[in-house]
Amino acid sequence: MFSFLFKKENQLNNLIANYLENLAKTQEHFVKAMDICLDEGICGEFAFLIEQTHKFESKADDIRDEINYLMYSRALIPESREDIMNLIEHVEVIPRIFELILHLIRTQKIKIPNFALSEVKDLIRMSVESCDLMIRQIDLMLKNKSGIRGLMTTIDHNESHCDHIERSLMTKVFDSDLDPIHKIQLKELIIAMGEVSDQADRVSKRVNIMVLKRRV
């Protein structure tokens, strides 16, 4: 009985690890797409990288379904099942935001003005760093290792810095002489970009709570 449950839990941990690896690949293609967009504009390679981002995001959905199926096959006690399901639901918001950002740029043909380029790159860099730290945090939790709270502190700091960049960008956009429609497009895009670090911070805090609950 106990060996059966142990095997199930190992399978679950492996699936979650696969999910996180897939998230990292989704993020990698998102970053490449944004680099191309910011350096060369909307082009064929940008469109290809959007499709690659979507491919890995769709694969993540398939892995999530496997995780849900396994959890309902008595892999964990009900309380732990709920925690893991809620965690995955919060994590999967991030690749959806990646796709949203890329599709906003492609469908609305948004051009990032030169005065915003540097801060947009900083916003993406810090947001991606937070996602990397979040993935490490979940990995540490699965392996029952320490260091989770320190990562949470760094993610929280990044999120505050991203908020500062977001506010600065908004001010510059609406102080500029850009067309009003362009300003509204950029506003929507900047909000979506800022949501990446916000969501990574929410997941990070959830992971920390899960670890604290284990010690009770």
Residue-level pLDDT at 36: 92
* Measured distance CA(146)–CA(212) in Å, rounded: 12
The residues near 30 (Cβ < 8 Å, ≥ 6 apart) are 49, 53, 95, 98, 101, 102
State how far the Cα of 66 lies from the Cα of 28, in Å rounded to an integer.
Answer: 23
What pLDDT sits at residue 75? 53
CA-based nearest residue to 22, from 67, 76, 84: 67
* Rounded Cα gap, residues 48 and 20, in angstroms: 23
Question: What is the reported pTM?
Answer: 0.89
What pLDDT, on a 0 to 100 scale, did the predictor assign at position 64?
86
SS (HEC) of 31-74? HHHHHHHHHHCCCHHHHHHHHHHHHHHHHHHHHHHHHHHHHHHH
Q: What is the pLDDT along the chain (216 residues), one digit of tens a residue?
A: 334 344 566 778 888 899 999 999 999 999 999 999 998 888 888 889 999 998 988 888 888 888 888 777 665 555 577 788 889 999 999 999 999 999 999 999 999 999 999 999 999 999 999 999 999 999 999 888 999 999 999 999 999 999 999 999 999 999 999 999 999 999 999 999 999 999 999 999 999 998 888 765
What is the predicted pLDDT for the residue at 196?
Answer: 97
Q: What is the rounded distance in angstroms from the CA atom of residue 48 to the CA atom of residue 24?
A: 18
Residue 74, domain extent: 2-215
The total of structural domains in the chain comes to: 1
Terminal-residue alpha carbon distance, the chain: 25
Say which CATH number the domain at 80 has: 1.20.58.220
